[in-house]
Amino acid sequence: MLGAIEAGGTKFVCAVGDEKGNIEERIQIPTTVPAETMPKVVEFFNKYSVKAIGIGSFGPIDVNMDSHSYGNITSTPKTAWKDYPFVQALKEAFSVPIGFNTDVNAAALGEATFGAAKGLDSCLYITVGTGIGAGAIVQGKLLQGLSHPEMGHILVRRHPNDEFQGKCPYHHDCLEGLAAGPAIEARWGAKGNQLVDRVEVWDMEGYYIAQALMQYILILSPKKIILGGGVMNQKQVFISVYKYLQEFLNEYVVLPELADYIVSPGLGDNAGITGSLMLAHQAFQEEN
């Protein structure tokens, strides 16, 4: 039996399951402070005999195994979790192999193993919600270099009708600053689910996401792109994304039919927790 943690900024999902992606049991725990959240995590896994645990975590995190702070959450604005030694804490509680990566890299792994990119050695998973993040599989492996990707903060050109200043505390009007859920709410004065009929809202959203996809495609050339997260539940955004991406790329690269190439998660909301199970599976295999 394998354990999995999808550690999000508002809630932790903990689950047990197997390497085929079957989830046997799961709970949700609010993300408050480590001293409160983590004992509940340990209590959950104490009920089972897990041979490894995989973590897909909010970030930024240290994924560099040669680093002295490997396994930590690093410079998060959630101050109680800043520099929290996530892997070390679990190692001390369970003495089993621990897999550790970003929540979005975990979701990419889940989708590449059992979801919309099943069987492919290359895919990109993007979530557009409270923030914007992306993970990727490149030639069969989770993308990693100096650190994990931070694709949500790439620069985009402003839509000609957009005068909103942007909400990113670091870059103001980067992709996340202009196109994540809080930016939509701040720009238009209402939450997305109250703006369903406002065509201009979702047209502009697609304009920004299409720009991001253009950059991702030209740089990574993924074999499949999966767009998840709360904002993408507005399916009209996909239509706008297809339109603008075609306009921006102008046939410069040959792509599959866009409706087959840029899709919703095959695992729905289970991409992250399923990918975290796979991180557990990989960690177990690497240490055995």
Among 221, 233, 246, 285, binds a copy of itself (CB under 8 A): 221
Q: Count CA atoms within 13 Å of residue 9 on its CB side.
A: 15
Closest approach, Cβ 277 to a copy of itself, in A, equals 22
Whole-number minimum distance, CB 134 to a copy of itself, in Å? 8
Site membership for a copy of itself, residue 104 (CB under 8 A):
no
Residue type, 167: K
Report the nearest approach of a copy of itself to the CB of residue 132 (Å): 11
91 is a site residue for a copy of itself (CB under 8 A): no
Q: Which of 11, 141, 191, 198 binds a copy of itself (CB under 8 A)?
A: 141
151 makes contact with a copy of itself (CB under 8 A): yes
Question: Is residue 171 involved in binding a copy of itself (CB under 8 A)?
Answer: yes
Q: In the structure, how many helices (H) and strands (E) does the chain have?
A: 9, 10
Q: Tell me which stretch binds a copy of itself (CB under 8 A): 48-56, 99-107, 218-226, 265-273.
A: 218-226
- Cα angle: 195, vertex 199, 200; to 5 degrees: 95
Name the minimum Å distance from CB 136 to a copy of itself.
Answer: 8
C-beta contacts of 25-28 below 8 A and 24+ residues apart: 26/273
- Measured between alpha carbons, how far is 157 from 204 in angstroms, rounded to an integer? 12
Indicate the SS3 state at residue 15: strand
Binding flag, residue 253, a copy of itself (CB under 8 A): yes
Cβ contacts of 111 within 8 Å, gap of 6 or more: 117, 118, 123, 125, 224, 226, 265, 266, 267, 271, 275
* Per CB under 8 A, 144 contacts a copy of itself: yes
- Going through 37-131 in order, the beta strands assigned E by DSSP cover 53-57, 98-102, 123-128
If one asks whether residue 108 binds a copy of itself (CB under 8 A), the answer comes out as no
Regarding 226 and contact with a copy of itself (CB under 8 A), the answer is: no
**Residue whose entry in the numeric block shows the structure tokens 């991406």:** 245
Which residue in this structure is represented by tokens 């897909």?
56
Binding-site member from 131, 222, 229, 275 for a copy of itself (CB under 8 A): 222
Residue 135 binds a copy of itself (CB under 8 A): no
CB 39 within 8 A of CB 54: no
Choice between 130 and 147, CB closer to a copy of itself: 147
The verdict on 35 binding a copy of itself (CB under 8 A) reads no
Q: Which is nearer to a copy of itself, 88 or 215 (CB)?
A: 215
Which of 24, 25, 83, 150 binds a copy of itself (CB under 8 A)? It is 150
Is there binding between residue 146 and a copy of itself (CB under 8 A)? yes
Tokens of 1: 């039996």
Is residue 240 at the binding interface for a copy of itself, with CB under 8 A as the rule? no
214 binds a copy of itself (CB under 8 A): yes
Q: Calculate ∠ Cα 266-272-277, nearest 5°.
A: 105
- Integer Rg of the chain from CA: 19
Where on the chain is the footprint of a copy of itself (CB under 8 A)? 60, 122, 138-139, 141, 143-151, 153-157, 170-171, 211, 214-216, 218-223, 248-256
